[in-house]
Structure 1
């Protein structure tokens, strides 16, 4: 235990000796002096906690000594106890306490009262110092927390930038591959060539799915993921998922089955995109880990409450199964059942983590029953509102993409594959177009010629699309500040889209895109 320093100041040595004998104990150090000036020096140099000071002393009395101590920041915290043999009149006690003393004792001292009072002050000092120590620790901890928060925010910014850049760098070539595959399908092909183009599309979409998984996980973790419920044909969703995964199941000679409850409603209110994502992940996972036998998607009604149904989507397989000790592990990000699973089957280990998070966001529950070498059943349950015919918006007929008349478009795109793709698509719609490779060239062209619309890539050399848009809106090409501008972006984070709109873009199209989406946007901003 740390010893407490007590200073005794008295001009008579015999009084000091008597007081020392009275206070002697193992947890304190007693320092004494008969000289007030020496007392000031000791108080300045040593960590004095309590000072017991005589009132009447030559040269400097106790009151004057205490006033000096209390006026100095280094010594003002010392607890002062006056000890005196002069009159017990109240005015002296009041004067002593008003100078900053905590007590006023009269000689001859009662040994029990004096020891008890000093003991209480020692305990007070210990408590006070413990509080100061804790406060310093809290301050240090707070500084560490602030530093950790700043590091976390920096890390998040780095992560977001990395995801945005990764999204752009990988999605841009995928956009070209998917787009060219779509163009190839419209040409004269042999059956063998058509099959190869179909496989090319499947592979490209599979790669795109992995990228989307990473981005979705990032959005879920940052709380920016949104569930959008609309009228959904539940039977069609299930049939489409099974049809899409039919090819990999046939390749593995697996029986892919669909079992639908006969009382399923036609339409429900659901986020069809996310429900489709959950089912694709669960069925795709089941096919991946099943060597023989079957994979079955079963949809059944569990409960009814008024106009609401509780549906359970179960995906059962006859695959390798999961050991009990690994069942919780498979839902962790980038984790699989064991190291051998990754070696044998590959994959990112993101699928089930995303399914779990999506299920939670949608307000549903995800369960798994599995036995090694027998198979697994993953079940997702949730409540859905049943929609009557009157609640379902009429399905819009797919419009035929007719040629545009006298439409001039400026395209700013530096990627050669995407440039080729956009040119082919626009030429099919009989659009008159000019193509440049960066924002500065787009500005120069706009000054020279009239265009009805600009299609601007976001990331380009020399000058990027966002900078070019800002300059156009600020009047770089006089009289053309309000020309409609649609940006292409391979980044899919909401912040990237918000940044483009803030720069002055009218709309944003994410790569890869469907030609019909581009057609509709051009129509909206040029024809009205």
Structure 2
């Protein structure tokens, strides 16, 4: 145990000897002096916790000594006990306490009272030291937490930047592959060529699906993932998912069955994209791990509360099943039931992890029942608000043909050669006159020289990126062109990247890879808006 230093200041050596005898103990270190000035030096140099100071001394009395000690930041916390033979009159006690003393001892000293008082102050000092130590530990811990938080935030920023860059670098070439595949489908092909193009499209979409799964998980972990609810055609959504996966089931000679509760509403308020994603992953997973028999999507109403329904989406298969010990493991990222499953069936192990995260974000419950070698049932349950059919939004039927434009000139800023070829080909098929820039600076130069109805701007480009070019346009870099509609192409993963583009001055954002129909609709919208203006 660390010893506590006690200073005794008295001009009479016999008084010091008497106090030393009273206070002697193993856990204290007693320092003495008969000179007040020497006492100041000792208090300055040593860590004195308690000082017993005689009041009446030559050169400097005890009151003056204590005033000097209390005025110095280094010695102000010493606990002062006055030792005096002066009258016990209240005015002297008040003067001493006002000076900074914590107590008085009166001569002749009562050994029991003296020992008890000093002992209580020793315990107080120890308590204060322990408290100070704990406070310092808390401060150190707080500093460590702040440092860890800063490191975590920096790591998060690095991860988001990496995610944005990798998203662009991967999705941009995939956009080119899928786009060119779609263009090739419209050309005259032999049966063999058509089959190869179909396989190329399936492979490209599969690759895009894996990339989107990884990006979705990263967005969920970064807290950037949002659920956007709106009117959703429940029956159509379920049938579309089943129809998309029917080819996979047919390739394995599996029956793909859909069972719908006859009382299901036509419209519910839901995030159709994420509901589609959950069902796609569950059904695709069931088909993958089922070698014979069937896969069934069953949708049923479990409960009703006013205008709300509790719906249960069950995907039932007759596949390989899951051992009880592995059920929890299958929901972990990049994990499958066991190594033999990965070897035999392949896959990333992302699908069920995404389903679990999406279910949680949507406020639903994901359950699984399985028996090894007999099959599994994955069920997603959630509450949905029903929407009356007369609230259904009017959706124009699309027969697949996109109308051509007349007298439209568009500036395209895109540095990727494949995407540039793809966009030019699509726009020219729509009878649009196109000028192309390889970067933001070239786009500004062309905008100075020519008139365009719309600018299509990639966000990531060398020399000057699209966002900087947009800001300059909006700030009047090209006089008279400040309000021209600008649509950006973005392969970024985060929702914040789209918000940044809008904040920079873009009117709209088209995500890569894009659907031709979506781009056509946006061009049509901004041309109509320009005419209205």
| TM-score normalised by the chain length of structure 2 | 0.95
List aligned pairs for 1:104-503, cutoff 5 A.
104-398=104-398, 400-503=401-504
CA drift of 1:155 comes to 0.7
TM-superposition CA deviations, 1:44-102 (whole Å, max 9, x none): 22211100111122222212221221122111111000101122222222222121111
Of 285-294 and 73-82, deviating more is: 285-294
TM-superposition CA deviations, 1:424-482 (whole Å, max 9, x none): 11111111111121112111212222222211111111221112222222333222222
- Inter-partner Cα distance in structure 1 for 2:344 and 2:109: 89
CA drift of 1:214 comes to 2.1
Of 508-517 and 226-235, deviating more is: 226-235
Q: Is the Cα contact below 8 Å between 1:316 and 1:378 reproduced in 2?
A: yes
TM-superposition CA deviations, 1:224-272 (whole Å, max 9, x none): 3222222222222222112211222233333322222233333322221
- Inter-partner Cα distance in structure 2 for 1:56 and 1:304: 90
CA drift of 1:344 comes to 3.7
- Inter-partner Cα distance in structure 1 for 2:114 and 2:337: 73
- Inter-partner Cα distance in structure 1 for 2:342 and 2:130: 54
List aligned pairs for 1:12-161, cutoff 5 A.
12-161=12-161
Structure 2 residue ranges without an equivalent (≥5): none
| TM-score normalised by the chain length of structure 1 | 0.96
- Inter-partner Cα distance in structure 2 for 1:385 and 1:83: 82
CA drift of 1:308 comes to 2.8
Q: 1:64 to 1:198 in 2, by over 3 A?
A: same
- Inter-partner Cα distance in structure 1 for 2:459 and 2:120: 73
Of 186-195 and 127-136, deviating more is: 186-195
| SS of structure 1 residue aligned to 2:411 | strand
CA drift of 1:23 comes to 1.6
CA drift of 1:378 comes to 0.7
- Inter-partner Cα distance in structure 2 for 1:101 and 1:196: 96
Q: Is the Cα contact below 8 Å between 1:443 and 1:468 reproduced in 2?
A: yes
- Inter-partner Cα distance in structure 2 for 1:263 and 1:166: 46
| SS of structure 2 residue aligned to 1:527 | helix
- Inter-partner Cα distance in structure 1 for 2:270 and 2:89: 88
- Inter-partner Cα distance in structure 1 for 2:464 and 2:116: 82
| SS of structure 1 residue aligned to 2:29 | strand
| SS of structure 1 residue aligned to 2:380 | strand
- Inter-partner Cα distance in structure 2 for 1:337 and 1:196: 34
Task: Let me know the Cα RMSD of the aligned residues.
Answer: 1.8
TM-superposition CA deviations, 1:392-447 (whole Å, max 9, x none): 22332327422111111111111111111111111111111111211121112122
Structure 1 residue ranges without an equivalent (≥5): none
| SS of structure 2 residue aligned to 1:302 | strand
TM-superposition CA deviations, 1:499-524 (whole Å, max 9, x none): 21222222111111111111111112
- Inter-partner Cα distance in structure 1 for 2:120 and 2:346: 71
Q: 1:471 to 1:258 in 2, by over 3 A?
A: same
Q: Is the Cα contact below 8 Å between 2:163 and 2:493 reproduced in 1?
A: no
CA drift of 1:13 comes to 1.8
CA drift of 1:175 comes to 0.6
Q: Is the Cα contact below 8 Å between 1:492 and 1:510 reproduced in 2?
A: no
Question: Could you list the runs of 4 or more consecutive aligned residues of structure 1 that deviate by over 3 angstroms after TM superposition?
Answer: 338-346
- Inter-partner Cα distance in structure 2 for 1:374 and 1:352: 19
Of 118-127 and 290-299, deviating more is: 290-299
- Inter-partner Cα distance in structure 2 for 1:37 and 1:228: 78
CA drift of 1:146 comes to 1.0
CA drift of 1:388 comes to 2.8
- Inter-partner Cα distance in structure 2 for 1:306 and 1:47: 75
Of 219-228 and 360-369, deviating more is: 219-228
Of 21-30 and 336-345, deviating more is: 336-345
| SS of structure 2 residue aligned to 1:322 | coil
CA drift of 1:137 comes to 0.8
